[in-house]
Chains A and B, each alone.
Chain A
Amino acid sequence: MRVNWLLAGVAAIAAVGLVWTPYDPLAQDFRELRLAGFGAAHWLGVDGLGRDVLSRLWRGLGNTAGLSLLALGLNFVVAAAMLTVEETTGRIGRTFVPLVASVWLGLPVIFLSLILLVFLPPGGATLVLAVALGNASISYRQLRISWREQIRAPYVEASETMGASGWGFFRRTLWPNLAPDVVALARLIFALCALELSGLAFLGLIGDPDFPELGAMLRQNQAYLTNAPWLLLLPGSLLSGLLLVVHLSGHRVAQD
């Protein structure tokens, strides 16, 4: 298997941001001139509250990517559970699960999140739950298509006739054929989760306004639109860059 070094590198940088940044992303440096721009001590300057922008961006990248990954994992668990219920409960499951999924698909993620936020406290965990559930029907539909395609294939029947079953059967026979579809789906869902999560954070629904997350940073820096536009341009470019790397990694796999 070929490793996508660009993607791995970006993931490593984001992971470093979670445990180490040049400064504490919440600490205020009152000796620095606020919004003065780039400098030697603070490479990307300090923001309106005197906090190091580079550290906040770095931790923000880690937080956005990390929370989106958590949402992706939860999303796949929910989608796989829906598929399992449909496949194992016979007629009832086969009728109701697709119906529930189509109802679900009709609700835009942002409104589903607003419903959840009516009774859950605003915060990172609530947002992860909201975007994971909001996109569950998309990944359920896609997983179902791939699963059905594979499970009916002649090679699966042949393996079953030869006595393969259980985990080994899944791992050795089905998974190698399912994996490309699942990886492509994961890429899509990750991008959707990251966009929606930072969007909800931008709306102020992540709770703590100082939480270093790219969307929340955009919200806080909106006030400096005219006198420090880089405070707005940088977090967005960073998020777009991350998603672009994720998006392009799919193209390379497709071409190989």
Chain B
Amino acid sequence: MIAFAVRKSLLLLALFLTASALLFVASRLALGDGVLLAQKAPDPERAAEIEAALGLHQPWPVQYVSYLSNFLSGQWGASLLNQRSVADEVKNRLPATLELSLSALVIGLLIGVGTTLLAEAAPWRWARRLPEALGALGLTVPIFWLGLVFIILGAAWLGWFPVSGRFDFILERPTGTGFLVIDSLAAGDWEALGSALHHLALPAFCLSFFPAAVVSGLLRARMREPRWQRLIIALRAKGLSPTSIWLRHGLRLLGAPLIIALGTSFGLLLGGSVLTETVFAWPGMGRYLVGAVLDRDVFIIQYALLLVMFLIFVVVWLAEMLAVALNPRLAQMEGDGSAR
């Protein structure tokens, strides 16, 4: 098991280093041979000064190492366009993205488990097609269009939800962690909590279709295995009702693969949140990154995008470790050389 943990950690570390190297090369290619500097500062002396300040005169390997060490020490520099510190922007925006993604994860988990349980245990015929419909939805309906439809229905026509943003601007914004739901709960400000949840509802529901499809697809595939079918027959023979079979035995036994799948889909969720944030004008990392890419603001991309990928890898790593702790047989199965 320790060997498994070490191997997984090394693989993810290699993954992170590769991703950071890719990002570094891409951003240096974007800078070009001082073309950008030549445009901004026609005076060659001033250009050389800026180049030295940014460390661009050093050879690439040296720059890469200092890039990594800067990233780890939190010195992320500032935007090329407006000189705003990347670290400050990230501090404001990352909680917004995480609040959205984690709410979507929770809602998606509930929808995914709920539809699968309905399909397996409910007596209605239509319920059996639900997980399939959910999977088809994921492959046919673009998530950003779903968001727009939600806005048209829920905000423009019915007027039940706000169109965009994260918080009502007339209310006083609770401070602290940056997670508005947690902050307003901690402050005991019910009006603020209501506003935060009200703004969160549509985007989180929209984004929750990703994890819901992943969860229900995984659960359904596992339940189709002959081993499960035999277990169910044994439990039915014991006299248990379908509901208690799924709630007491099914979910507990399916926990480990579910955790891995959720960890892996976290990246998908962050990717989807880039689209959802754009639709709902949610002030998060996704919009920041897309704006930076369109502006070619290399330093924002270099550090903020690496941070997002770092988070993805950390979550995948945590999920793998947790799953192995829950079910140590996973480590052996991996050792046999079978693919995940």
Contacts and interface: CB of A to CB of B under 8 A. Distances in A.
Contact of B275 (A117, A202, A240): A202
B26 interface: yes
B294 A218 contact: no
Contacts of B305: 111, 114-115
A225 to B, nearest CB: 6
A108 B19 CA distance: 11
- Chain B at the A interface: SS class: helix
A108 B140 contact: no
Contacts of B272: 110
Interface string B252-272: 000000000000000110111
A238 to B, nearest CB: 10
B221 interface: no
A234 to B, nearest CB: 11
Interface string B130-142: 0000001001111
Interface residues of A, number: 42
Given A106-B15, A243-B140, A115 B22 contact: yes
A119 to B, nearest CB: 4
Interface in B190-225: none
Contacts of A195: 139, 142-143
A205 B293 contact: yes
A106 B317 CA distance: 11
Interface in B10-41: 11-12, 14-15, 18-19, 22-23, 26-27, 29-30
A3 B4 CA distance: 49
B27 A229 contact: no
A188 B217 CA distance: 15
Interface string A236-251: 1001100110010000
A111 B309 contact: yes
A199 B278 CA distance: 10
B144 interface: yes
A162 interface: no
A233 interface: yes
A232 B275 contact: no
Contact of B26 (A99, A115, A141): A115
Given A107-B267, A225-B152, A244-B136, 12 more contacts: A103-B14, A106-B19, A106-B312, A108-B271, A116-B26, A118-B296, A118-B301, A195-B142, A199-B142, A233-B149, A235-B145, A247-B140
25 contacts: A102-B11, A103-B15, A106-B12, A106-B312, A106-B316, A107-B19, A107-B267, A108-B268, A108-B312, A110-B274, A114-B290, A114-B293, A114-B301, A122-B294, A192-B139, A199-B142, A202-B142, A205-B290, A215-B142, A222-B148, A225-B156, A236-B145, A236-B148, A236-B149, A243-B141
